[in-house]
Structure 1
Amino acid sequence: MIRYRKILELQDEGISLRGIAASTGHSRQKVTEVIGLAERKGLVCPLGEEMTDQWIEDFLFPERTLEASGRQPLNFDYIHEELAKPNVTLSLLHHEYEAECRAKQKIPYSYRSFLRHYSTYADKYKATLRIRRKPGEILEVDWAGTTAFIIDRDTGEKVKAYVFVATLPCSQFSYAEASLSMDSHSWITAHNHAYEYFGGSTQIVVPDNLKTSVTKHTTRELILNPTYREMADYYNTVVMPARVRTPKDKASVEGSVGVISTWIIAALRNTHCFSIDELNKEVWQKLDEFNNRPFTRKKGCRFSAFEEEEKFALSPLPGAPYKMSEWKTAKVRPDYHLSVESMFYSVPYEYINRQVEVKLSENLVELFFNHMRIASHKRLYGKFGQFSTIRDHMPDNHKLFVDQTPEAAIEWAEGIGSFTLNVVQYLLGTSQTEKQALQSIFSLKKAERQYTKYEIERACKMIVSMTKRPTVKSIQTMLKNNKKNDAQQELKRKTDSSTNEYGFTRGASYYGGTDK
């Protein structure tokens, strides 16, 4: 047996290769090979008592025990690396291994032996076992059943603080955060901080059936909370809630919740914090200690397992964290506005008395009907009762009223004609108040519903030729009179044309008679 332990201990003491070879009775080539392989696999002094020469040989040369059987040796590093890739399974790798054995005319291991040897290798030499969980695939989240507390400065009472826990099942790397509430805002905020702590997002997130994550979950139907669904889309992940009363669907986080309840929540039972920020500083300090605690049955810790085995597989995060949106429902009022937190926002008047969905974000209010966005407004803050109205949402008669400004009145008059423009300018210049002038002009504009632009311009021309002080009333009267006169003339023209409906009448001379 090669004296592996002695070689590594002498090398740690700074003895030369020649000295080590002389002391152990091995060649310098063998000594160099052992030292180099130990450095590549991270085996350094001081060595534990269980690390005998046989243990070290199994660690440095795991394939030797398999070669003695006469079967094709297994490349465990390759298997472990390939299992990290999406959709790669041990069944697939064993199938490829059998094909390789047939090509080399070697005896392959059975699938059961293949699985057992890999499990033994991963348990002994690797931080993670990739049979059940792939790196970067799943994030399990939940609230801890045990609560922490903070002290109210004024009353001295203990205030409950709820602890959010997120765990990556592959490496068991975890995140924890305390919050004063378990509402949707706290839930989303904790997710944002967890993704930031991990430095990436997973393909799937597995929550419990909380109202903040799931609206309805039956064997036939799954309806996610709209805000939670949006957050998942933003981080390009899929929400797959655990089945009802099936804790095994998120066993990793259930286990982490129990451990964190001991090593974080219980460990802080005698620590008095007066704000949630103070409590979270203590929680995160204990969290670092928890993630760096050595594993009991294998080398490394949760943090090292995450760094070496899982961090590379996480998806990159967006440039900024998800900004939470809140969803509500509201009924459109008869004035085509709806009330949201005592502010009023317009929608197209066709949706009056309809129930619409409201998406509230920090700076934007979006309104949806049957999952289709029908309006969006900048969110209003400050004094209650403010209105945000978009002109295109109004009926035509409301648009006419809202558009009453001196500039709009002049622009309208220019589109009618020069005499109408003279009348409008006269009204704006002579009325006691601007509002009074605009009301008069609005009455004149409504004439467009019954009369053409030509008729309005002609009436204004006739009134201006009669008086230097035209009024809207006189123009309206002239429009009626002109309409009546035009109707009479049209009737007279039709009557005259009916009397000559037979054309030219021949005289008596045409028929041979005499006209005298």
Structure 2
Amino acid sequence: MLRQLNDERTIRRLGVTRRQLLEDIDRPALKSLPIEPYEFAQWKTCRVGVDYHVEVSSHYYSVPHRFARAEVEARLTVRTVEIFLRGERVAAHLRMSGNHGHTTVADHMPSSHRRYKNWTMDKIRADAGRIGPATAALCEQIIEHRPHPEQGFRACLGIVRLAKSYGEARVEAAAERAIAIGARTYSSVKSILDKKLDRRPAEQRAAEAPVIVHANIRGPRYYN
């Protein structure tokens, strides 16, 4: 019945069968199916940091260092992150989880960090030092504990800029608390300020905590 409808029955107003229309009009216009299945992608506009990394879904991906501070577009799929500048792809990475970590391609780094590093490090140290010694010390720790010092620039610059919103005294107190608890990220310092934890005394360290006295706790004589 279906074959009869398509191959034998003529469309009156056109004078041809559906099969003839398919062969004469539709089939020549058909293209072959793509080799790979369709993959859904999202696009996001980003700005490259001074550390030549782009933040995408709470993870940092490198681009060639010459594109630092440029506005780029990131294409996100389930498996990959691609970075485009004016329509040209400049970087591609496997997509990582949002752990605020860094994915850095060695070829994206400058051949020599010396001039770039000294200028940036000196500026960070000077700006952090103007806020206070704790802020300067925290920035030093952040930079020292990163695989590449430049990966800590973004966090340090963010901490320094918090002084515009919260004041230098509060940022300095927050830095002291961050050092005490071993927090070395911008988000940690921001959280301390948002929760006003900088206005509370630092928590007593576990080693200095008083010994709990309880009837169920056995003293040294029990084992002698």
Fold shared per TM-score above 0.5: no
Q: Which has the larger radius of gyration?
A: 1
Taking CA–CA contacts closer than 8 Å with sequence separation of 6 or more, which of the two structures ends up with the larger relative contact order? 2
What TM-score, normalized to structure 1?
0.19
What TM-score, normalized to structure 2?
0.40
